Structure 1
Amino acid sequence: MSSSNPLLQDFDLPPYSAIRAEHVETAVDAILADSRAAVAALLAEQPGAPSWASLIQPLDELGARLGRAWSPVSHLNAVCNSAELREAYEACLPKLSEYWTELGQNKALFDAYQALAKSPAAEGFEVAQTTILEHALRDFRLSGIDLPLAEQQRYGEIQMKLSELASRFSNQLLDATQAWTKHINNEAALAGLTDSAKAQMAQAATAKGQDGWLISLEFPSYYAVMTYADDRALREEVYTAYCTRASEQGPNAGQHDNGPVMAEILDLRQELARLLGFANFSELSLASKMADSTEQVLSFLHDLALRSKPFAVQDLAELQAFAAEQGCSDLQSWDVGYYSEKLREQRYSISQEILRAYFPIDKVLTGLFAIVEKLYGIQIEELTGFDSWHPDVRLFQISEQGAHVGRFFFDLYARANKRGGAWMDGARDKRRAADGSLISPVANLVCNFTPAVGGKPALLTHDEVTTLFHEFGHGLHHLLTRVEHAGASGINGVAWDAVELPSQFMENWCWEPEGLALISGHYESGEPLPQDLLDKMLAAKNFQSGLMMVRQLEFSLFDFELHASHGDGRSVLEVLEGIRAEVSVMRPPAFNRFANSFAHIFAGGYAAGYYSYKWAEVLSADAFSKFEEDGVFNGATGRAFREAILARGGSQEPMVLFVDFRGREPSIDALLRHLGLSAEAA
């Protein structure tokens, strides 16, 4: 074991700049070997009646050691991807999968957990400990503990292969995104684009040693073209490249094609479900979620579609009529963003670009922190002098009445070799260590905003502000936990269809005048968002919310149906087209290959669970309606939400926590009202 390997050292925060690709496999091999030996010794030493201290605590210590090494590697693979790191990361995936499968199928370990759950001591456990035990026993069964040996081995093979395929899907999507660019020499071709978008494209060209402007498929660049480019042919070209990424269609047809990867993933998921006694993967997915059955999920989604579609039909008719007035009588997918922005400007005299000047990043962050300080009684300060993976990364500390609570990294801007999208991941869990010390939580918060260009600070659109609040909500869920057992602290053990509650909940303050007053200020003058702009922004809040709702329902139903019906002879595309026939009002062109870049379900944790966004939106809207009743900065209500939802992590079922806060089960009415999709709102 190399003592010079930073991943084998104890550290407070990961030594990111010291981690090399050659450190990764060596460290993982050493830790897995140590862990296997430790588990065997642990089981050999168990007393007749295992205790929490003799069984769970040592396993938590082993998990923490492995997490301490693997978490920074996994994170670097997403935010600083390189050929060497990717190779090392992928070499470890099957080894990790094999290790976790071994634990899940370890009969002696299962017996020890069962003995602990039935022991007299268990009657005195905290609710979090009881829940952790219940979830562990459930997960043993979902790991194939009851299967014959040959089927257990097949389970392990499938899990290993699925881990590898998810990584391949993600890599091919990243490679496909970076494989296409368009170099522009004539500025007239960029007519309509904002100065900030052109500055970013000029900066991208300079970085590649080119003059002029470089359009890429990184989201800020794609979004700018689709929203502002007057050149319809350019919009069509960029749209085609973007929506055919990693497929057999489009300008790079067949390069990095995720089609075969998706087919193999779906086959293996279906086989896994059958192996464990479920009819399909959607059923298996729900075994650890809040929803009770596939019927309940489908009924929920179809009901939302039924209520929303008339509003979407109306939204589209208005957009088509407006586009026709502007000379576009055959509205296509690459026209929707462009004419939607023009219609928004005409109707409300407001645009994302006008708003951008009022949301410089530091003002937004200061306001965001002020909001959560008011709500939850915490303090946030920026730290300096830390080790980082990129110069743009910032580190902050949360404290409460002078006591340290946790820390979080912000990595906010788009760049090459960084995965697209926005996410939070736990870098370290809060837990009580074996020596009695309290380990504080650490989170990584990642976005892909347009970086500072042309001497101006980074300026966010209001949509980006909302994304930032969303991810910070996840971060608070991880950081403000009061649970001291790793299995239920922070987001650990939280049902996947409830995990979006705290994140979507935070978005509400981006729309409240009291919240906007704190997060907005013109980047030059510091002037707050003027009342007339605020009024226009609030008036435009639900602009095209019908169209947006059916789009999200299309994704949710497609995902769930795909996993519930796999094997019925339909291709991925045929399932998607069937869902579109039911809920969509604007059909994309035949070459669109959206599924090939749907990383949430093929490379993230959302397989047969994308509905969670809508499910949790009902919870978050209803939770926020309590603040509408009491006052959006009501300290007592804020503390009540913190203690009922954020502090308790995965220690109890989400419905119990929700009812503790709201005093009743959730109602869909608040969501429809917030989105303007109800008779009351209309």
Structure 2
Amino acid sequence: MALSFFRSSVISRHVKRQLYQKRNSGYVVLIPEIGEDADKNTLLSDNGLPEFDDISIEKCIATISRQSLEYENGVRQIEQSSQNCKNAFNEIFQPLEKLDNQLELTWGMAKTLYLGNSSLMPTKSYIQIHERAHKARSAKFNSYPIYQAAVDEKNRLKKLTDEEQRLLDKYILEGKLNGLDVKGIKRDRLNNVLAALQKERQQFRDKVNIANKIFTSNITDPEVMREFPPSLVKSMAVGNDPERGPWKITLQPHIYEPFMEYCSDRELRWNAWQAHVQRCSNYVNKEIETGNNLDSIRRLRGEQAQILGYETFADMSMETKMAGSVENVYTIFDKLLESARSMQDVEIELLQRFAQERGFDFKLQWWDIPYWQRKQKWTLYGFDEEKIRKYFPLPRVITSLFNLCSTLFKIQIVERSDVHTWHKDVRFYDVYDGTSNNPIAGFYLDPYARQDQKIRVYDDAGWHIAIRNKCGSTNTLPLSALIFNFQAPSEGKPSLLSFNEVGVLFQRFGHSLRHMLTKANYSEVAGLSNVEWDAAEVCGQVMTHWLYDPHTIRAISGHYSTDEPLPDDILKNLQNIRGHMAGYNLCKELYLSRLDLEMHSKKTFWRDIVREMWPKYHALPFDKYDSHPLSFTKIISEEWGAAYYCRIWSRMIAADIYSTFEEARAGDQDILAVGKRYRDTFLAVGGSCHPSEVFRRFRGRDPSPHALLKNLGLPKNVTEIEE
């Protein structure tokens, strides 16, 4: 085997080319404002659905360009008529809904192609379309006349429905966050801050991407690959022969994360781990060091928040969150940490003992945990993601998922064949209400991985795209696309899913139900639109809980060739598997959530924040070279600044919701009545009511973290732990 680390002298020219020539390679492209193919129906079939098999990049660009111009002109016309507005809903917001309809559809189609077949919609082309559509749609939220009309309408002494109230609140909040009530010098400064932020975030993102690509470590010894699953061996193979190698380790998530779980060579694990945690630090290569970018982004975000009237960026972020305040997040998460941290100490001790019994003569370090964690899970529970695939054939899983939703929510899901798609493997389904002969929504399902056609991210193995929202003004129905990277059928076998992939399928489909079963009339607050960030993933998470219901698991599982049921020992152990090292895993997420909020609430140097927080959340010591915040793209260069906590918050809310179904089952009550209440609240209301109120309507009280702790098997104190 050959080990390699960052070599500054070798990569210098490569880094400079990527950093300084990237924008010349395709990000800044002139888009034709109007093209030959810009007819109104150029992208639609006669049945009103996208004509995916006849869409070209040129058609998409021409159509989005025309629609963007029409949109911006339409917003200007609405602004002019708003001066004498007597009813903002009829004269402003309904016309805006009609403007949104076509632009959103084309934009959604482009995103679907980008994720479903990037050879038809390359990254550069999608970025053009995305940026043009985003710029156009932002016009209404950057319009002072529309903002003022929403304020005036809210101040009128008239009774509003929940949906109308939420619609007005959205326009008012968007206007406030865009600085529409900031004038003069402050406004100029805000514009400069936002421009500088965009530049710094792009530089941060570019540098992390370069760091991910630069590091490689080659494996030439087949013995090292002995425990690796075939799919990972194939992904890492350098040549055309995965069995002989060599194989390449990279820091790309879909390689790095499973590599750390399956690699038996400790030196290789350490080499990859240190490269991963030291990315973009001055310990490695100063040309892609992001410390200055991180400091600038934190400072600029703080200044942005203060100009807009908030004490900190974290406080500003809470305007769009269910939690409402940083203090509320800390209060709930401290309760979770109290249980998880004490359990983590015991888990690490037990894992150390387990490893030592198998000849491991070292003290466990960070680069050892994923490998031994996987080994322990297999030994304790006979659980191996790869070895139980044969019990989860995709056709059976999908049929059982649809049947479960039909039973709980009184819907029917029916495949339709006369629909244009972007690939022969894609299927289309109509969704019918139990009492209707006409569909209420539709969705595409694209299940299989296609090398060089689909984007792969290891911790995000599937996507839900809201192609079109429900809209009363235009009488249009919700349309979705569900895109995954599951193994394709081969050698007479159907697509076989790991248990984790079954969870991804359930999660994404549960997420899509909120989009498709909405009852709201305004697309701006229908389905997933306008749902607070920390509640956006709740419905998807609720669906995954059904995988721990024995009846559901028996329905979705069965050997692909013999129909033999999932072995009882695995069935019984699923709950234990979910709780395996739950304290350790939850503490990691709680730490990253708190780190994010602390960095966006304080001016303290990031490394000092890390050092102070570390022992409160981690049993293992902090490595002095660990610089993980310098590559934490989700919160620094993406949109999750002061919002990373949303992942755990959504899980907590979902666990509390699902516990209602469990209580009904245990109390011999009507579980279908709970399903109806869930559909009538979370699935039907969507963003047309604040999620705290929606939760109270469903649960009859405010959220509690107890259900999440119970599901993870975490005790309230260390004395409850039984070895």
**Shorter-chain TM band:** 0.7 to 0.9
**CA shift at 1:608, angstroms?**
0.9
Does 2:380 match 1:347? yes
Distance in 1 of aligned mates of 2:694 and 2:358: 51
1:59: how far off?
Answer: 0.8
CA distance in 2, matches of 1:142, 1:108: 16
Task: Quote the offset at 1:285 in angstroms.
Answer: 0.4
Separation in 2, partners of 1:28, 1:247:
40
Contact 1:49 1:115 in 2 (8 A): no
Alignment of 1:616-631 (within 5 A): 616-631=650-665
Amino acid paired to 2:92 = L
Could you tell me how far 1:481 is from its partner in structure 2?
Answer: 0.8
Residue number among 309, 312, 318 corresponding to 1:280 in the alignment:
312
Contact 1:7–1:24 (CA<8 Å) still a contact in 2? no
Which residue pairs with 1:230 in the alignment?
Answer: 264
How much does 1:327 deviate? 2.5
The reply to whether residue 541 of structure 1 matches residue 578 of structure 2 is yes
TM-aligned CA deviation for residue 562 of structure 1: 1.4
Taking the TM superposition and a 5 Å limit, the aligned residue runs for 1:284-303 are 284-303=316-335
* Secondary structure class of the residue paired with 1:206: coil
Question: 1:96-107 counterparts in 2 under 5 A?
Answer: 99=136, 102-107=139-144
- Describe the shift of the 1:280–1:239 C-alpha distance in structure 2 as closer, same or farther (beyond 3 A): same
680, 685, 688: which one aligns with 1:648: 685
Structure 1 residue ranges without an equivalent (≥5)? none
Kept in 2: contact 1:424–1:475 (CA 8 A): yes
Q: Alignment partner for residue 359 of structure 1, among 392, 402, 406?
A: 392
State the distance in 2 between where 1:406 and 1:429 align: 10
Residue in structure 2 matched with residue 317 of structure 1 by the alignment: 349
Deviation at 1:484, TM superposition (A): 1.6
Distance 1:497 1:637, change over 3 A: same
Is 626-635 or 279-288 further displaced after alignment? 626-635
CA distance in 2, matches of 1:119, 1:10: 42
Query: In 2, distance between residues paired with 1:214 and 1:16?
Result: 36
Confirm or deny: 8 A CA contact 2:208 2:280 kept in the other structure: yes
The SS at the match of 2:320 is coil
Which residue, out of 654, 660, 676, partners 1:639?
676
Structure-1 residue corresponding to 2:336: 304
Instruction: Find 2:240's aligned residue among 187, 196, 206.
Output: 206
Normalized against structure 2, the TM-score is what?
0.83
Distance 1:563 1:510 in 2: 36
Which AA in structure 1 matches 2:66? A
Report 1:76-225 matches (<5 A).
Answer: 76-77=113-114, 85-90=122-127, 99=136, 102-119=139-156, 122-123=158-159, 125-156=160-191, 158-159=193-194, 162=197, 177=212, 184=219, 186-195=221-230, 197-198=232-233, 201=236, 205-206=239-240, 213=247, 217=251, 219-225=253-259
SS of residue in 2 equivalent to 1:287: helix
Distance 2:302 2:412 in 1: 47
Aligned counterpart, 1:270:
302
Deviation sequence 1:625-653 (CA, Å, 0-9, x none): 11111129922211111111111001111
- Conserved? CA contact 1:191–1:231, under 8 Å: no
Q: Secondary structure at the match of 2:578?
A: coil
Structure 2: how far apart are the matches of 1:388 and 1:172? Answer: 36
Change in Cα spacing, 1:238 to 1:508, as seen in structure 2 (3 Å) is same
Shift of 1:100: 5.5
The secondary structure found in structure 2 opposite 1:354 is: coil
- CA distance in 1 between partners of 2:714 and 2:500 (Å): 20
Structure-2 change in CA distance of 1:668 and 1:536 (3 Å): closer
What is the alpha-carbon distance in structure 1 between the residues aligned to residue 353 and residue 398 of structure 2? 40
Q: In 1, Cα distance between the equivalents of 2:241 and 2:492?
A: 16
Contact 1:105–1:140 (8 Å) recurs in 2: yes
* Equivalent AA in structure 2 for residue 40 of structure 1: R
Q: Judge which range, 275-284 or 25-34, deviates more.
A: 25-34
Where 1:407 maps in the other structure, the secondary structure is strand
Q: Which amino acid aligns with 1:43?
A: E
Using the alignment, how far apart are the partners of 1:474 and 1:663 within structure 2?
23
Contact 2:222/2:245 (8 A) holds in 1:
no
1:678 counterpart residue number: 715
Instruction: Give the whole-Å Cα distance in 1 for the aligned partners of 2:203 and 2:426.
Output: 27
Deviation at 1:669, TM superposition (A): 1.7
The secondary structure found in structure 2 opposite 1:529 is: coil
User: Aligned-pair distance for 1:508?
Assistant: 0.7
CA–CA separation in structure 1 for the residues paired with 2:298 and 2:613: 18
Q: Tell me how far apart the structure 2 counterparts of residues 157 and 614 of structure 1 sit (CA, whole Å).
A: 34
Q: 1:636 to 1:131 in 2, by over 3 A?
A: same
- Percent identity between the two aligned chains: 27
Q: 1:495 offset after TM fit, Å?
A: 1.3
Match of 2:80 in 1: 44
Deviation at 1:187, TM superposition (A): 2.5
Q: Is the 1:333–1:589 contact (alpha carbons within 8 Å) kept by the matching residues of 2?
A: no
Kindly indicate whether the alpha-carbon contact (under 8 Å) linking 2:36 and 2:62 is maintained by their aligned counterparts in 1: no
Deviation at 1:200, TM superposition (A): 5.5
* 1:329-340 pair list within 5 angstroms: 329-340=362-373
Distance 1:667 1:211, change over 3 A: closer
Of 457, 464, 469, 2:506 maps to 469
Pair 1:442 & 2:479 matched: yes
- Identify which range, 190-199 or 331-340, moves more after superposition: 190-199
Tell me the distance in 1 between the aligned counterparts of 2:473 and 2:242.
48
Deviates more, 1:399-408 or 1:81-90: 81-90
Q: Is 2:91 aligned against 1:54?
A: yes
Given candidates 593, 599, 608, the residue that maps to 1:556 is 593
Q: Does 1:428 align with 2:468?
A: yes
Q: Deviations over 1:6-28 (max 9, x none)?
A: 89846344445555555566544
**Helix, strand or coil: the match of 1:650?**
helix
How big is each residue's C-alpha offset from its partner over 1:553-597, in whole Å with a ceiling of 9 and x where there is no partner? 0111111111111x33x03x4434433232122346455554455
Once residues 672 and 174 of structure 1 are traced to their aligned partners in structure 2, the CA distance between those partners, rounded to angstroms, is: 36
Return the offset for 1:128.
0.8
1:423-445 CA-to-partner distances (Å, cap 9, x unmatched) read 433221111134xxx21112233
Q: Select 1:502's aligned residue among 528, 531, 539.
A: 539
2:8 aligns to what? none
1:418-471 deviation digits (Å, cap 9, x = unpaired): 15242433221111134xxx2111223344445556664433222222222222
Contact 2:71 2:136 in 1 (8 A): no
Two-structure CA RMSD over aligned residues (Å): 3.5
Q: Deviations along 1:500-544, whole A, 9 cap, x unmatched?
A: 221211111111101111221222322121212212333333111
C-alpha distance in 2 between matches for 1:21 and 1:287: 38
TM-score, scaled to structure 1: 0.88
User: In structure 2, do the counterparts of structure 1 residues 609 and 179 end up closer, same or farther at CA, with 3 Å as the change threshold?
Assistant: same
Q: Alpha carbons of 1:353 and 1:399: their partners in 2 closer, same or farther (altered >3 Å)?
A: same
Q: 1:175 to 1:379 in 2, by over 3 A?
A: farther
Alignment gaps of 5+ in structure 2: 1-33
8 Å contact kept, 1:225–1:238: no
Q: For residues 511-590 of structure 1, what are the structure 2 equivalents within 5 Å?
A: 511-565=548-602, 567-568=603-604, 570-571=605-606, 573-587=607-621, 589-590=623-624
Secondary structure (helix, strand or coil) at the match of 1:31 reads: helix
Shift of 1:210: 9.6
Q: Which residue of 1 aligns with 2:5?
A: none
Paired amino acid for 1:460: L
Distance 1:175 1:354 in 2: 35
Counterpart code for 1:427 = I
C-alpha contact (below 8 Å) 2:88/2:150 kept by paired residues: no
Q: Indicate conservation of the 8 Å contact 2:117/2:422, yes or no.
A: yes
